[in-house]
Amino acid sequence: MRVVVTGATSMLGVALIKECIENKNTVLAIVREGSSRLARLPESEYLQVEYADLDGLDSFQGDGTPYDVFYHFAWGHTNKAERDYPLAQEDNIRTTLKAVELANKLGCKRFVGAGSQAEYGGCEGIISEETVPHPVTSYGIAKYSANMLSKRMCEQLGIKHIWARIFSVYGCYDNEGTMINYGIDKFLKGEEANFSAGLQTWNYLFESDAGRMFYLLGSKDIDAGIYHVAGNESKPLRQFIESISNQFVNAKCNFAEPGDTVVYGIEPDTKKSYSNLGFTPAVSFEEGIKKVIEFRR
């Protein structure tokens, strides 16, 4: 299998590429010029790195040999200030459509896009692929719009469209400022970590398992549609935090008192993904946390 990956140096991009190489698949990684994360990519005869900005995807030519699957992870303006800024998120919709154009140009017959739990908005109870999306942030709205428009474009071009809605994936290459990284860094320093009440239901999946799920979404004979990328266990967020603190001696952990404001959690239904892909997570939350602690140490 020959695959193309945008956003190749992201946590998920790296995890997918490692899985592809392990399975002896040729990978074309499209990386932004001057990326500071280039060292994350493994050295391999199966990996080719090409440089292109998101705005320049339409000028990319490839090597003339057709590819099979196009994975689109690249998504800009994810910092807190721009995440809910409509004009910034509009760029990502256009970039996704350019990615579909490039997939078609390179001969890909399958397009796998990286969606988000944010497309659903606030939901009570179990979230299935049939749950009607009600995104409330510009980021969630843009992801949902990118899904619908790229799906339509793929239909017109005869490309199978897979949209993977990602829930909370964590790992060594996660973005700075996440709750997990905050807690680990505080505990490593012997400082007190302050959290919300943590009563909302949550779900986590380790980066290598997420990479394997994406690999299977591109390689398995499955129908077009939406698939959840998520862990197999949902429980109160506080229990996940306590699992992290239990990895340290005398960790100082403070939880806020519950407030009156409704806080929505996430409880994804993974039956469709797991059954269609033949997938079961290989890394438990405790095992994954140990890997992240050692990495950040």
**Is 253 in contact with 192 (CB distance < 8 Å)?**
yes
Give yes or no for residue 57 having a pLDDT over 90: no
Q: How confident is the model at residue 228 (pLDDT cuts 50, 70, 90)?
A: very high
pTM: 0.94
C-alpha distances out from residue 177 to 60, 144, 174, 180, 182, Å: 33, 25, 9, 8, 6
- Look up residue 176 and give its DSSP letter: T
Q: Name the token pair of 71.
A: 């994975």
Asked, colleague to colleague, whether 2-169+205-229 and 175-203+233-267+283-296 share their fold, the answer is: no
Categorize the per-residue pLDDT at 46 as very low, low, confident or very high, splitting at 50, 70 and 90: very high
Fold classification of 2-169+205-229 is: Rossmann fold (3.40.50)
Question: According to the model, what pLDDT value does residue 181 have?
Answer: 96
Residue in 163, 158, 110 with CA at minimum distance from that of residue 273? 163
Give the rounded distance of the alpha carbon of 39 from its chain centre.
20
Mean pLDDT for 24-38 is 91
What are 115-134's pLDDT values in tens digits?
999 999 988 899 999 999 99
Q: What does R_g of the chain's alpha carbons equal in angstroms?
A: 19
- CA distances from residue 153 to 94, 150, 209 in whole angstroms, order as listed: 12, 5, 29
The two tokens of residue 73 are 């992870």
Instruction: Give the whole-number percent of the chain exceeding pLDDT 70.
Output: 100
99 beta partners: none
pLDDT for the residue 260: 75
Please state whether beta strands 69-72 and 169-170 pair in parallel, antiparallel, or not at all (unpaired). unpaired
Whether the Cβ atoms of residue 265 and residue 224 lie closer than 8 Å to each other: no
- Which token pair is 146? 């990118």
Look at residue 35 and tell me whether its pLDDT is greater than 90. Answer: no
Q: What pLDDT score does 60 carry?
A: 72
Instruction: Name the more confident of 176 and 195.
Output: 195
CATH topology of domain 175-203+233-267+283-296: UDP-galactose 4-epimerase; domain 1 (3.90.25)
Sketch the domain layout of the chain as residue ranges. Answer: 2-169+205-229, 175-203+233-267+283-296
Structure tokens at 123: 């939901």
pLDDT digits (tens, 9 = 90+) for 74-123: 998 888 788 888 999 999 999 999 999 999 999 999 999 999 999 999 88
Q: Whose CA is closest to 119, among 179, 82, 164? A: 164
Please report the pLDDT score of residue 139 as a whole number: 96
In terms of Cβ atoms closer than 10 Å to its own Cβ (0-12, 13-18, 19+), residue 222 is middle
* Residue 26 pLDDT greater than 80, yes or no: yes
